[in-house]
């Protein structure tokens, strides 16, 4: 884990966070702040407890892209691109878009 946001509005940093450049660190934190700003963790919890499982992972992917746009709009686009180019997974996993999808999303910000 590099970083994650919590239900309580905090950002938790993993050991790999220290391996990032300063610009990448600021971008990752801004991305996590985007999750907090939009209440993504609470929405995910609501979807689970209210049995709204259909499309769950697709909605999570949309949240990731929204958090990326939030970070870019705060001025961290280049740091986020640098992070995604070096650290992001190239293949899709449940709830997370590919690095290519995320970079494409940022090209519109």
pLDDT per position as a tens digit, 26-78? 999 999 999 999 999 999 999 999 999 999 999 999 999 999 999 999 999 99
Per-residue pLDDT, 70 = 98
Q: What are phi and psi of 3, to 5 degrees?
A: -165, 155
**Angle (nearest 5°) at CA 16 between 44 and 107:** 60
Side-chain-facing half-sphere of 2: CA atoms under 13 Å: 18
What percent of the chain has pLDDT above 90? 92
Per-residue pLDDT, 24 = 98
Instruction: Count structural domains, the chain.
Output: 1
The conformational region for residue 75 under phi > 0 = left, psi -120 to 50 = alpha, else beta, is left
Per-residue pLDDT, 89 = 72
What are the tokens at 56? 């769950």
Residue 4 predicted with pLDDT over 80: yes
- Domain residues for the domain of 57 are 3-106
| Beta strand residue intervals within the chain, DSSP E | 3-5, 11-13
The kind and range of the H/E element at 82 are helix 77-87
Per-residue pLDDT, 93 = 82
User: Predicted confidence band at 20 (pLDDT cuts at 50, 70, 90)?
Assistant: very high
Q: Are 44 and 81 in contact (CB under 8 A)?
A: no
């Amino acid at each position: 884990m590099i970083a994650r946001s919590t239900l309580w509005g905090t950002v938790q940093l993993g050991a790999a966070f220290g391996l990032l450049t300063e610009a990448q660190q600021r971008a990752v934190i801004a991305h996590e702040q985007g999750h907090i700003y939009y209440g993504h963790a609470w929405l995910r919890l609501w979807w689970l407890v209210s049995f709204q499982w259909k499309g769950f992972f697709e909605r999570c992917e949309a949240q990731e892209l929204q958090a990326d746009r939030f970070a870019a709009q705060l001025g961290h686009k280049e740091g986020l691109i640098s992070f995604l180019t070096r650290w992001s997974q190239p293949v899709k996993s449940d709830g997370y878009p590919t690095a290519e999808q995320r970079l494409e999303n940022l090209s519109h910000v």
